[in-house]
A and B are shown apart, each in its own frame.
Chain A
Amino acid sequence: MATLDRRTFVKGLGVAAGALLSRTAAAQETYRIGLVVPGGARLEVGERIAFGVRLGLDEANVMAGLFGKRLELLQEVADGAEAVLSVGRRLVRQERAIGLVGGADEASAEALRDAAQQGDALFLNVGASASRLRGSRCHRHAFHVEASLAMYVGAVQQWLLEQRKLTRWALVTSDSSLGRDIGQVATAFLARRGRAPLATEQVPGGTQDWNPLLKRLGGLGPDAVFVGLEESDLPIFLRGYRSAGLTFQLAGAGVDPSALSAGDPADLAGVWPVLWHHELQRFSARELNSRFRRRFGRPLEGRSWAAWAAVKLLGEAIVRTGSGDLAGLLRFLESAPPFDGHKGRPLTFRDWDHQLRQPMYLVTPRKPEPGREPWKGFEVVAEVPARGDLDAIGEPKGESRCRFDG
């Protein structure tokens, strides 16, 4: 456990609690929520989640305070599945947390899901998009605010097909868990529309020489190249893509686009899906972005948005059901209450795998500009689905391997 990081995180909480007291003088019933975030090398991811949780807690407590209730946050830093499981168990069993928030990656999400399952609590996943968590490893106590990989990939694919009318694609994926997952959901998406990739290339991690693959792509002449590569491989691929002079529409998923800015800005290209963007304006997104920036001095992005939404959802569930009773909370969340995530549409959990339905946003790099902060390097080009059925992206019910009764 990283005590220094933990102290940094907790520092801001005192301020949050103080600000809330004046608005929650009548608070009587207190409900505990456990937050488990990574530290160490993944400190930044942990901070993003923690900041989102704090804003969500502020807002949930204003609402809860109006009805004589209060949410209390118990925050822990833990790295590695074993440590996360241990902390999660303690939060639920000893500290009596009714819900756990976290899941910065697949392993920690699985651990928190197990802790919640064993301790009769809820788990809200705010950072892990792996298909398995919504499929063979799903559990009734787990709700996924973070979008599934199928939603990230499907959002880009739907845009390429329906908006850009690009149908002949080459898939380039890493030979890794993430790459294989992206390859499968991308191929399944095309199959649902009676299509197949023009070519599928799986590459080992750490590949330095992309020329042979890029030459093959050049020879194929696809409409688009869709990449599902590990974050560490992407900058080298993007450099090679530019050097080779390829101009096919580039798109991808599986990484936070702002991480791409670590490479040469001139190499940035493609269309990438995100859960949230700090420049969104409509449906009071401007106000939410503004509240976050005022509070933390940084832009609101996907993981922070998911964390904000998770705590707000829990708070609303407690207020609307009038208690923290697990059975009641489960019934409420499964009844598809319309959640306002400032995305302009009611967001609801799917009943077959507990994935939150929501529109995604596609971003593309801006023209490079010296000295610009990395997070300002991308702009929103589309919302997907722009209208209609939110299940148009993501894995449909008929293909789900999730069985809550199993």
Chain B
Amino acid sequence: MRRGVRARGVVGAALLLGVTLLAPAESPAQPYAYVSNERSNDVTVIDAATDRVVGTIPVGDRPRGIGVSPDGRTLYVALGEEDAIAQVDVAARKILAKIPAGSDPEAFAVSPDGSRLYVSNEDANTASVIDTRTGKVIATVPVGIEPEGVAVSPDGKLVYVTAETTHTVSVIDTASFKVVATILVGSRPREAAFTPDGSRAYVTAEIGAVVSVVDVKRHAIIGTLKIERPGAKPKGVVVRPDGKRAYVANGASNDVTVIDTAENRVVKYIPVGRRPWGLALTPDGRKLYVANGASDDVSVIDTVTEQVVATVRAGKGPWGVTISP
């Protein structure tokens, strides 16, 4: 009851303010990294050219999952304690609206055309499809227990939703909103990332301390990589735009795994801050930003030298990162 009232209140507030869900705004001139800080309830804005903090946007209670629209104009931030996803005008750095998103939203993905958000609903064991234009849920799809990470294939036709308690990835067809396959992966899967050509996906598993490599066409596991680091809890994962490297945030082992995707083998571990969680690459793939949840900073890795080239102070409890195109 409390949640329902709160959710309606969010919509009501948006209407009273007279804001539209998609306000026109200038696209940023250069890539910015946006970092959600779950304990300071804000987003740190980092200029990816200089690696300096250029702003902080208060967004609401417990921001975690974060994503940006394909045109770079709209930032979305999941607010776990508000049961909503904040929609932020990037140019104005102001909240446009808060979209009701079910109980305790944590992770979501933006479709390649920007028209939809795919949200995992941890308590309900479902994934919701939200129309970004109207802010309405247009489909709800049952998945495994405790759904978590969400990833959309580059062509927008498939959505992967990991489920922590059933150790599965539900593969959702975005035309029919049906689960077309369920893939058994490592124990407690967290996130998934597709290669740019969409042929493979990498899925992290926190308790299993493994990364599963999925053949997307066959919905089949073709490799499992063990993260051989003490205490490693693989969480965030991204694939470089050239498709040659995948990077995994290892959580408690305080480093990032570098995977050679041609051979599907671990080639390096890069030490970063404490409890790296979320990851994002610049559009050219030259820099990797790593949110370090326990050291309240962001490590910036040069993907050519595979070294940390900057450490940027963030808010409290950095959780996720996204970078504008």
Shortest beta-carbon distance from B144 to chain A in Å: 7
Shortest beta-carbon distance from A345 to chain B in Å: 7
Shortest beta-carbon distance from B275 to chain A in Å: 12
Which A residues are CB-close (under 8 A) to B142?
A: 23
Contact segment of A42-50, A62-70, A85-93: A62-70
Interface flag for A72 (CB, 8 Å) = no
Which of A23, A66, A290, A346 touches B187 (beta carbons < 8 Å)? A346
Please encode chain B, from 126 to 141, with 1 for each CB lying within 8 Å of some chain A CB and 0 for all others: 0000000000000000
Interface flag for A95 (CB, 8 Å) = no
Which A residues are CB-close (under 8 A) to B296?
A: none
Interface flag for B297 (CB, 8 Å) = no
Which A residues are CB-close (under 8 A) to B122?
A: 287
User: With the chains together, A107 CA to B307 CA distance in Å?
Assistant: 60
Q: Are A338 and B184 in contact (CB under 8 A)?
A: no
Q: Are A59 and B166 in contact (CB under 8 A)?
A: yes
Which of B123, B144, B209 touches A66 (beta carbons < 8 Å)? B144
Given contacts A62-B144, A66-B166, contact A340 B188 (CB under 8 A): yes
Which of A62, A337, A339, A387 touches B145 (beta carbons < 8 Å)? A62
Interface flag for B58 (CB, 8 Å) = no
For residue B210, which residue of chain A has the nearest CB? A338
Shortest beta-carbon distance from B30 to chain A in Å: 38
Interface flag for B198 (CB, 8 Å) = no
Interface flag for B266 (CB, 8 Å) = no
Interface flag for B167 (CB, 8 Å) = yes
Which of B123, B146, B208 touches A338 (beta carbons < 8 Å)? B208
Which of B146, B182, B186 touches A284 (beta carbons < 8 Å)? B146
Interface size for A (C-beta < 8 A) is 19
Q: Are B184 and A67 in contact (CB under 8 A)?
A: yes
Interface flag for A316 (CB, 8 Å) = yes
Given contacts A66-B144, A67-B184, A346-B208, contact A340 B166 (CB under 8 A): no
Interface flag for B199 (CB, 8 Å) = no
Shortest beta-carbon distance from B80 to chain A in Å: 11
For residue A294, which residue of chain B has the nearest CB? B123
Interface flag for B225 (CB, 8 Å) = no
Please encode chain A, from 50 to 76, with 1 for each CB lying within 8 Å of some chain B CB and 0 for all others: 000000000100110011000000000
Shortest beta-carbon distance from A111 to chain B in Å: 32
A-B contact count (CB 8 A): 51
Which of A287, A319, A345 touches B207 (beta carbons < 8 Å)? A345
Interface size for B (C-beta < 8 A) is 22
Interface flag for B165 (CB, 8 Å) = yes
User: With the chains together, A387 CA to B230 CA distance in Å?
Assistant: 11
Question: Which residues of B187-240 are within 8 A (CB) of A?
Answer: 187-188, 206-209, 231
Which of B165, B184, B187 touches A337 (beta carbons < 8 Å)? B187
Which B residues are CB-close (under 8 A) to A387?
A: 231
For residue A58, which residue of chain B has the nearest CB? B145
Shortest beta-carbon distance from B8 to chain A in Å: 23
Which of B125, B167, B209 touches A316 (beta carbons < 8 Å)? B167
Which B residues are CB-close (under 8 A) to A345?
A: 207
Which A residues are CB-close (under 8 A) to B186?
A: 338
Interface flag for B164 (CB, 8 Å) = yes
Interface flag for A331 (CB, 8 Å) = no
Which B residues are CB-close (under 8 A) to A66?
A: 144, 166, 168, 182
Q: Is the interface of B mostly helix, strand, loop or mixed?
A: loop
Please encode chain B, from 168 to 193, with 1 for each CB lying within 8 Å of some chain A CB and 0 for all others: 10000000000000101011100000
Please encode chain A, from 327 to 343, with 1 for each CB lying within 8 Å of some chain B CB and 0 for all others: 00000000001111000
Which A residues are CB-close (under 8 A) to B166?
A: 59, 62-63, 66
User: With the chains together, A333 CA to B209 CA distance in Å?
Assistant: 18
Q: Are B184 and A320 in contact (CB under 8 A)?
A: yes
Q: Are A59 and B231 in contact (CB under 8 A)?
A: no
Which B residues are CB-close (under 8 A) to A290?
A: 123
Q: Are B144 and A63 in contact (CB under 8 A)?
A: yes
Which of B165, B182, B206, B207 touches A59 (beta carbons < 8 Å)? B165
Shortest beta-carbon distance from A258 to chain B in Å: 26
For residue A319, which residue of chain B has the nearest CB? B184
Shortest beta-carbon distance from A336 to chain B in Å: 11
User: With the chains together, A231 CA to B38 CA distance in Å?
Assistant: 44
User: With the chains together, A338 CA to B189 CA distance in Å?
Assistant: 12
User: With the chains together, A316 CA to B166 CA distance in Å?
Assistant: 9
User: With the chains together, A319 CA to B167 CA distance in Å?
Assistant: 11
For residue B207, which residue of chain A has the nearest CB? A340
For residue A337, which residue of chain B has the nearest CB? B187
Given contacts A62-B145, A63-B144, A287-B146, contact A340 B184 (CB under 8 A): no
Which A residues are CB-close (under 8 A) to B182?
A: 66-67
Which B residues are CB-close (under 8 A) to A59?
A: 145, 165-166
For residue B230, which residue of chain A has the nearest CB? A388
Shortest beta-carbon distance from B15 to chain A in Å: 32
User: With the chains together, A23 CA to B182 CA distance in Å?
Assistant: 13
The residue among B164, B188, B209 with the most chain A CB atoms within 10 A of its own CB is: B188
User: With the chains together, A340 CA to B145 CA distance in Å?
Assistant: 13
Please encode chain A, from 343 to 373, with 1 for each CB lying within 8 Å of some chain B CB and 0 for all others: 0011000000000000000000000000000
Given contacts A287-B122, A340-B164, A346-B187, 8 further A-B contacts (CB under 8 A): A62-B125, A62-B144, A66-B166, A66-B168, A287-B123, A320-B184, A338-B208, A340-B165
Can you spell out 27 A-B residue pairs with CB atoms less than 8 angstroms apart? A23-B142, A59-B145, A59-B165, A59-B166, A62-B145, A62-B166, A63-B144, A63-B145, A63-B165, A63-B167, A67-B182, A284-B146, A284-B164, A287-B122, A287-B123, A316-B167, A319-B184, A320-B184, A337-B187, A338-B186, A338-B208, A338-B209, A340-B167, A340-B206, A340-B207, A346-B209, A387-B231
Question: Which chain A residues have a beta carbon within 8 Å of chain B's beta carbons?
Answer: 23, 59, 62-63, 66-67, 284, 287, 290, 316, 319-320, 337-340, 345-346, 387
8 closest Cβ pairs, A-B complex: A63-B166, A340-B207, A66-B182, A340-B188, A338-B187, A346-B207, A340-B187, A338-B207
